[in-house]
Structure 1
């Protein structure tokens, strides 16, 4: 216990974050920090799990075990919950005798999902609790039989990056995974429900590398939905004999085809609920990712959109923006955070793009925050491509453009038709305040006020 008092917690966290980043180019996750802190304070796994509202088996056998293994490999000596204080003390003393080299600056353009090994991925807390992150909650949820997770957020808020991590974690658990990006499906497959479900089963077979036996199970008299369900139940699940995580990304596209939408989403709900009757359906873990709640004529009570665990991605907080700035090797002082967020809020993509330009070794024109923010709401700034894409969509839809013009023309929150509101929300242009809306950030108000004028 004496070694526990030698180094304050703040220093030990900084030490572990530093050595982990230098070795893996990734920082500790928030859950790993809580396990390390709880262990540093002498708490048992049961106590840590209870405080985080997570399962003890997940904290001890997954997070804890992997943390000690990681530190063992980095430090070069066995590390466990029982001896980590002494091991870290020795690692600290060893580092004090060596020159400290800055970590390599690995910048990534934020146009694509954040890579799994990226040090620039920021975990976010849920709206309900600051005791656990959205990521840790999803990692725990996906282990539950017949789990269903719904991820909702506007464009470029990080849905795909989160989905990538849940699927990677599922594979670490030994599960099979199939990811369907509905934006990639050929238009012809939406012509009717039967054709779509045949494609659905064929794609699952392809991704799992099992033979296609759709014609053997497709019986016209019983209909395509039952044929599809039977194909999964009697052929796919017995072939893999392990939980299957089925992730449906960009499902907003399906809403445009009422027959396919009603049948497909009704089938997903039926498959999920079938776990109450047949154990084999407990193998299915569903994830549905979407940007809007405008479901068209879909009956939501015959869909997965009002059951399961709902995950809504939030904007970055000032603390998270400061953390991200530091990961870009910027000072990340409060002034930078305040000025940047005054323009773009905590929008993940907009924040990351600004930090990317500010952190360039040869930053050129936008190496100055003042210049970057001055040019931001113009066609000469770093957001020009992003803003022009939104402008093109608005100009193609007069009602949508008129609705957004109404929003940016008033200082206060404005009432808005719900369907138009959901469309603007899915684009990421507005935020809801009860039943009214406001522009998501100052950048959008300034840019579109000039271009949507009379």
Structure 2
């Protein structure tokens, strides 16, 4: 694929990769305009002038586009870094054998305007990030989904979805929102990783950011300044904005989904203002009918580890939803979705061998099955190479290793866990952080590696 003098892909090639590799379906015309012109360095104002759309509409499309790409790629995407993030994803795909190279070959031909005659579309897509609602790769974990679909229809409902990273929380949340939409509900979802650190460090800025983004999700013109009152304070102003503007304007149930809520645990000032606000809105459904229209989904990776009054916490009310790992039967079912013949030939043996290494972790299982569906890649080879830097989990493991090495407490703690012959005790905040990464399991204050893959890899790397 051609690159410019700076070693980057052309704007059109980035657009092609996003449409054919990253996303389950092509961007619409206005999304393509925003992406293409953003890559060219245009501001939203310049994009609006050249496309005949309003500046507000362009901002809304841009916000939703970066949020969509962030969820799919499992990494924060902005106007400034979209080029580098897409290049990194392409590099990861081209490192895979052998069908991924077929994919990149097809992209090269497409960028030249050619149609390959002997290249087959890879199906299903490489796992990672959000699983689209219509994807056959989503494996239900009954009765989890049905329970969520029923609960979200209850006036004033609050669902708390908790699981370590890459367990399928966002994919479940997306299905709940889709179900709510079929009932005629409005939906809005915010990923708190999209908030800049400067915003997360200031309660007033954060609550304004929150109100503006929910408004845009609902195609409402933000009216924050009309409702913000310094004498009343940010929390009351935010509540007034929701009650007097958002809920009044839509006049029907609103499902508000908040992803990666645990990110604000690192910002206690904001957390101690915002989290009690969610609890207050939940309780207001018992006092004012209009608040019954607000249904909340709070998605987080670990238990709360900041001081918070029990009577103000949203994490001890509503309905808790904890995502379990895949069962043996679910792993075998997913193998069938990837076209493997495990259902006919030693299904239990093959699935158990894989699960002995990675447990029932959805992402780790899916990544393995994706590779096993490729020609000339055996389970024996996968198991042998998996805990090494060059195995299929190399990028995933290195990302965790880098995060651990940046924090001496986490490094010391995980080293203790993977080298111990039995479970260990850890300081609670450190344990919660490792738990959110999915590296450990906690049972009755005893801690051990969440799977053999992590034990083998980190024991080798940290020694």
TM-score after normalising by structure 2: 0.71
Count residues with an aligned counterpart: 340
Larger Rg: 1
**CA deviation map 1:354-376 (0-9, x unaligned):** 0001112xx34xx1100111000
Q: 1:402 to 1:191 in 2, by over 3 A?
A: closer
Secondary structure (helix, strand or coil) at the match of 1:143 reads: coil
CA distance in 2, matches of 1:374, 1:191: 45
**What does residue range 156-175 of structure 1 map to in structure 2 within 5 Å?**
156-175=166-185
CA distance in 2, matches of 1:119, 1:105: 14
CA contact (8 A) 1:146 1:283 kept: yes
Structure 2 counterpart of 1:124, from 113, 137, 141: 141
**What does residue range 187-266 of structure 1 map to in structure 2 within 5 Å?**
187-266=197-276
Give the Å deviation of 1:300: 4.1
Give the Å deviation of 1:405: 1.2
Match of residue 39 from structure 2: none
Structure 2 counterpart of 1:399, from 393, 401, 409: 409
Q: 1:145 to 1:294 in 2, by over 3 A?
A: closer
Secondary structure (helix, strand or coil) at the match of 1:411 reads: coil
Match of residue 336 from structure 2: 326
Match of residue 274 from structure 1: 284
CA distance in 2, matches of 1:299, 1:400: 27
Secondary structure (helix, strand or coil) at the match of 2:341 reads: coil
Give the Å deviation of 1:219: 1.7
Match of residue 362 from structure 2: 348
Match of residue 69 from structure 1: none
Ranges in structure 2 where 5+ consecutive residues have no aligned partner = 1-120
**CA deviation map 1:111-131 (0-9, x unaligned):** 221111111110113xxxxxx
CA distance in 2, matches of 1:210, 1:409: 54
Give the Å deviation of 1:139: 0.4
**What does residue range 351-362 of structure 1 map to in structure 2 within 5 Å?**
351-360=365-374
1:113 correspondence with 2:130? yes
Secondary structure (helix, strand or coil) at the match of 1:305 reads: helix
CA distance in 2, matches of 1:397, 1:224: 34
Match of residue 351 from structure 2: 337
Give the Å deviation of 1:303: 2.0
TM-score after normalising by structure 1: 0.73
Secondary structure (helix, strand or coil) at the match of 2:315 reads: coil
**CA deviation map 1:172-199 (0-9, x unaligned):** 1110011010001122322321121111
Match of residue 185 from structure 1: 195
Ranges in structure 1 where 5+ consecutive residues have no aligned partner = 1-103, 126-132
CA distance in 2, matches of 1:433, 1:121: 28
CA distance in 1, matches of 2:252, 2:209: 23
Give the Å deviation of 1:301: 3.0
Match of residue 54 from structure 2: none
Give the Å deviation of 1:317: 0.6
Q: CA RMSD in A?
A: 1.5
CA distance in 1, matches of 2:151, 2:287: 21
Match of residue 86 from structure 2: none
CA distance in 2, matches of 1:161, 1:267: 26
Secondary structure (helix, strand or coil) at the match of 1:269 reads: helix
Match of residue 394 from structure 2: 384
CA contact (8 A) 2:305 2:429 kept: no
CA distance in 2, matches of 1:199, 1:401: 34
Give the Å deviation of 1:105: 7.4
CA contact (8 A) 1:177 1:244 kept: yes
Structure 2 counterpart of 1:427, from 432, 437, 442: 437
CA contact (8 A) 2:305 2:432 kept: no
